[in-house]
A and B are shown apart, each in its own frame.
Chain A
Amino acid sequence: MAGIPQSMASNILNATTPTGTSGAPGTFTAFAGSAMKVRLNSTSSTASAQGTQLTGTGYTAGGTAVPAASTASSSGSNVTLPASSALSWTNGSGSSWSIQSFDLTDSAAARSWFGDFNGAPVSVANGNTFQIAVGGISIGLS
């Protein structure tokens, strides 16, 4: 299961329908202006709630910022991330990580998209590294 959280769905709907003053489009609630983050969870995220975040050495609460700008969507194409370099987390927690899902958030932890990893749960033994390849996450509205 993958998609967008309820807050984001309402944001899109309100900004593209006549919910604003006198029937004008409503206002899109902008995300924070710094680099977005990928958050890793040991359980599935849902439309109403994010999953349980990983813990322990090697993982920083809130997730890791993407390294660069993704190519913008055009003609309805998907947006992929991360751009330019992989995202990596080396498990130093002392026990295995079980990685189920991700959330894409802004720098202030507001959620925009979520999804399970294909093949989840991914077991990452202590000392091993979990890596999301360049373009390893593809996000679409079609």
Chain B
Amino acid sequence: MTDFDVRNPTRRGVLAGGGSLLVSFSLLSRAFAQEGEVQMTEPPAQPKPELPGSLSGDPLLDAWIRIDAKGEISVFTGKAELGQGVKTALLQIAAEELEVDPAGIRLITADTGQTPNEGYTAGSQSMQNSGTAIRHAAAQVREILIGQAAARWQVPAEELRAENGRVIRQDGQALDYGALVSDQILHVEAAPQSKLKQPGTFRVMGQPMRRVDIPAKVTGTPIYVHDLRLPNMVHARVVRPPRPGATLAELDTSVVEGMPGVVSVVRNGSFLAVVAEREFQAVQAMRALEATARWSGGTTLPDPADFIRSLKNLPSQEGVVAEQGQGGASSAQTFQATFTRPYQIHGSIGPSCAVAVLENGTTTVWSHTQGVYPDRDAISEMLGVPAEQVRVIHVEGSGCYGHNGADDAAADAALIAQAVPGRPVRLQWMREQEHAWEPYGPAMLTEVRASLDPSGRIVEWNYDLWSNTHTTRPGPAGSLIAAQSLPTPFRLPPAKLSITPSGNGDRNAVPLYAIPNMRVIWHFLPEMPLRVSALRALGAYANVFSIESTMDELALMAKADPVEFRLRHMEDPRGRAVIEAAAEDFNWSSDPLPEGRGRGFAFARYKNHAAYLAMALEVEVERESGRVRVVRVSAAIDSGEIVNPDGIRNQTEGGILQATSWTLYESVTFDQKGITSLDWSSYPILRFGAVPERVNVRIIDRPGEPFLGTGEAAQGPTPAAIGNAIRNATGKRLYDIPFRAEKVKAAIGV
């Protein structure tokens, strides 16, 4: 089972319910698991056998789990809490297999000084990678402890059981885990197979355990990197140029140096920052520096007029994403259309922040980066020191939804820290800096041409997409703004086209439906006029928007109901299950709706091998103004075996609302001199007045199945469901995101 077949997901190893507890996986090495997310990472030709999840990258059990003589358990994960609830879910998994109370486990997250290297917390793979590794490690640790007790008692291991942190024998005698551990007992490599607990016996997995981080968040208890206060700490602000690539030509620091509390002005080439004792002093000093700094040069941005259409004229390299069938099938009707999606922002509600200190030759950085190891590598490369001299520790930030300013803020802080050795530097980006400098979700243009045969089945599917790469993550120092600003600047390495199963700009570009003749091409655009990188779901947002809008048009041509038409082409039983569940929860029908109301449906399996999600929603289109409001939503999701159902529900609701905001309102604006969408007034997002009345999420439990992740599953179907509902309400289809009032009004007329 070494090849990955996009069109035949059932060939992957799955647990056949009940009975056997042996699990093996085909997603293996760390690199393979990260493909699509990282530049220039190819899946290995021959993946390393055969440890589950991230264990293949860190096979020693005590890299993941340690138990001391007092019985205190520490679990290590290379993943980070982003607000998606992963800490809680991992605690549930570990507690389940270790047979302990989750409250008795200390979970240490992403830290280059302590935890395994699991790359990025991205791609909705934390459960798959870390959850799986921890689950197996915990199960194996449990068995080791049982084995220890069996040896000590001289009884067969089968007569013993683990419960509540102890191993118990049939007559009731027990030994605490603490009494059973010894020095190197867990310093062994994991075995490829584990004795996992059966779903019917779960105590905590599958339960809606309350999130361990929420109490701190509602009481102001320090938990964010923004809350870190270290002794002797100073506050810093960077000063960025008016546009990328501009160099600092002139600077008069005299005014700033005299300002109260200013510790120093840091200038390193075109990198400019100011450090002060108090936070507000740093802000005021920054404003003063901004006023005196003179910049020259920099990138000229493209003419925004009709920019997205012009993507087709940029130099491109063609990558074949899928090709099957002979073509030339008999087609009765053909639909073709062009869809577009503008640059959109992550828009983290808390601008990026980091704390860094240079002490005893080591630069320690506390950051909310999604990838502590890659960011550490990039920062050490930037500083020109060995990687061991930089340590990056993850501390929560506000939601990032992909590659936002976090990695850069970490680099900024690290660079500033070099100028004030021994003093921790707290570096906070300003709102306009986050809006202007975070890497955006790339603008995309897609062209679909699909045909039906006389019986109303899709017989041919042609899909072309134009997009930049969706990842410029560090990686290399050249991906960091600070490094690009140095006197000898690091440069962002050229982006390369790479077709991988998880996908990048081509993520979800291949429909999961049974279509005999398919051709999907990614016209890869290496030139990046605006800074871009990974935004939640990557290409899936635009690709599923295009595919699922097309499905509805084809359904109309076939005079079929949109749900029935999808089922007609869906062979995967799990896909069928979510489609049917969403339709049922919504009470899907073709009954007439009041004037201005419409219903829309959409489905996708994220990456074609992760979570399944279908959704139905109802919109109201205000005829006089063109404003669209989502009234109610019914979604059904299959994330494989459920660890925390409330976490799945929370993430899915959140993804739907966020994608609704993207779809109805959001677009980066710029002119040739720079970005002009610099805050919430110039880049509006969803506010409470436009929030739906109801969002239902049905979760389909698949006990024993692999974890499939959740966080990005809703991004693709949401825009399509909205577009389909607008079409249903008004008879008009919109092809260009966002569906702002002006656009909708122009389409529907008076």
The answer to whether A binds B is: no
Binding site for B on A (CB under 8 A): none
Binding site for A on B (CB under 8 A): none
